[in-house]
Structures are given as C-alpha cells and as structure tokens.
A and B are shown apart, each in its own frame.
Chain A
Amino acid sequence: MSSTSDSENRAALDLLQAATRKVADQAKPPAWYHVTLGLLVGGLAAIQEAPIVWRFAYEAAALASMFLLVRAKKRHTGLWIPGYRAGRTRWVAAGVGSLFVAIFLLSAWARFDLHLQGVFLVAGALIAVLTTAAGYIWHWAYRLDLAEGRG
C-alpha cells in the first residue's frame, strides 16, 4: 500500500491498542460464573465418597451444567476465549489443572490407603475455592498478556 505518515501510523497503533483494551474489559466474566464453576468442579471431587449411582448422576448433571454455564458466559460477554490460549493464560490453566490432579490423587491415596474419612469433601472444598480464584487469576493474566501484546 502507499506510504503513510508517522502520525497516521501512531494513530493506527493507538486504535489497535484501544480495541485490544475494549476486548479485555468485555471478556471479564461475571462473578457468578467463577463461583458456579468452582462449586461444580469442587463437587466432582467431593462426590467421590458417595455411592456410585450418586456419583454418576452428579457427574452427568455437572457436565450438563458446565455446558450451560459456558453458553451463558458466551452470551453474557458476547465472545469466546479458549482457556488454554497461548501466553501467561496457558500457564495459569496448566498450573491449575496440574494442581487439581495432584489434590485429587493425594485425596484418593489418603482415602483408600490411609482410610481417612472425609478427605474428598475437604478436597472438593479446596478445589471449589481454587477454581473460583483461578478464574480471576486467569482473567488478570489475560489482561496482562493483551497489554503486553502477548498470546
């Protein structure tokens, strides 16, 4: 294309950065999304001591609820960003996922090898709080990525 002036280029870059900031603001999920997701994910761990029928029923209901929750968030924000997108956000997602697996395995070991009662309930509560917090941390990382032009 024909050459553009320095001021035009600077104005274009400002527009680009402003548009990026608008998306970062728009992408902020409502608090109910983080809390509901936290309760659903925490419930997946907490239910492990229940009879198998209850476990399956809860897991099916939780998966269906997560699907509806994601749909509601997409409708609320008007956009969709994958949790594993490149940048700091991917580290947050991978870190939280690994932490959940570690908590779950530790709970299973404590319950089935050490025969401790109620560990899955404690793990569920812990995962619920961590999931809720992780939602906020992820969005903070997303804003930081966008501000630095990463991801």
Chain B
Amino acid sequence: MAPAALDAVIHAPLRLQTCAMLAQAATINFATVRELLGVSESVLSKHIKVLEEAGYVAVRKAASDGRQRTWLSLTGAGRKAFAAHAAALRALVGDAGLAAQ
C-alpha cells in the first residue's frame, strides 16, 4: 500500500488547526478563529494568506453593524485536501501504534 501523504501547506500547526476548525463549519469569523487559537492578528493573517494562495481558504469581508468583519471558509479543494491530510495523519499514527505493539 502507498504511504499516506501529508499536505505541506496544511501540516504547519496553526494552519492545521485553522483548517480543522473551518472544516466543521460553513464559515467562521476571523476574530473567532484568532481567539480560539490564541494568536495575534498578524500571525493568523500570514497563515490565512498561505491557505488562500493554495486555494484552500476563501476570505470574505462583510460590513455588519458599521464594522468590517472577515469571514473564512474552506473551499471545495480545501475540504478535500484537509480530509485527505487528516486521513493520512490517522493512518500514520495508526500504523505507528500497530508497529509499536
């Protein structure tokens, strides 16, 4: 069987967590993701940019109550890539667990 392939774009810890969050919702506010991850706006922006350039994340800005809010969502390609990455991780961890037994 071919070894499970990890996606380098997703594998970085912050991007992995961001994708894991976005995979469970249609859209999440940028500020909410930042709070849940406990990182600064600039750090998260940098990682979102990488995911956006890879075509994994869509960024939408919308005005609400006189404030500009940024909403993030996984694209179709992003959902597929994240699902494959999570499956690969589970397979690798599962294989390692079996080998250790």
A81 touches B13 (CB 8 A): no
Chain A interface, DSSP helix/strand/loop, else mixed: helix
Q: Give complex CA distance A19, B86 in Å.
A: 13
| B interface residues with partner A (beta carbon < 8 Å) | 5-8, 11, 13, 16-18, 20-21, 23-29, 31-32, 35-37, 64-65, 86, 89-90, 92-93, 96
With most chain A CB atoms within 10 A of its CB, the pick from B5, B8, B25, B29 is: B25
B16 touches A16 (CB 8 A): yes
Which residue of chain A has the shortest Cβ distance to B64 in the bound complex? A75
From residue A108, how far is it (CB to closest CB) to chain B in Å? 34
Answer yes or no: A96 CB below 8 A from chain B CBs: no
A78 touches B26 (CB 8 A): no
From residue A3, how far is it (CB to closest CB) to chain B in Å? 8
Known: A6-B92, A16-B17. A27 touches B36 (CB 8 A): no
Q: Give complex CA distance A24, B36 in Å.
A: 11
Report the tally of A-B residue pairs with Cβ distances under 8 A. 85
Option from B21, B24, B93 in Cβ contact (under 8 Å) with A13 = B93
Given contacts A6-B96, A23-B21, A23-B25, 19 further A-B contacts (CB under 8 A): A10-B93, A12-B89, A13-B90, A15-B20, A16-B86, A16-B89, A18-B17, A19-B16, A19-B17, A19-B20, A19-B21, A20-B21, A23-B24, A75-B65, A78-B29, A79-B32, A80-B27, A81-B26, A82-B26
From residue B75, how far is it (CB to closest CB) to chain A in Å? 16
A19-78 CB contacts (< 8 Å) to partner B: 19-20, 22-24, 26-27, 75, 77-78
B20 touches A16 (CB 8 A): yes
B25 touches A9 (CB 8 A): no
A–B pairs, 16, beta carbons within 8 Å:
A6-B92, A9-B92, A15-B13, A19-B16, A19-B20, A22-B21, A22-B36, A23-B20, A23-B21, A24-B24, A75-B64, A79-B28, A80-B27, A80-B28, A81-B26, A151-B24
From residue B4, how far is it (CB to closest CB) to chain A in Å? 9
From residue B88, how far is it (CB to closest CB) to chain A in Å? 9
B31 touches A78 (CB 8 A): yes
Known: A15-B13, A19-B17, A26-B32. A6 touches B93 (CB 8 A): yes
A78 touches B28 (CB 8 A): yes
B93 touches A1 (CB 8 A): no
Contacts of A12 in B (CB 8 A): 11, 13, 16, 89
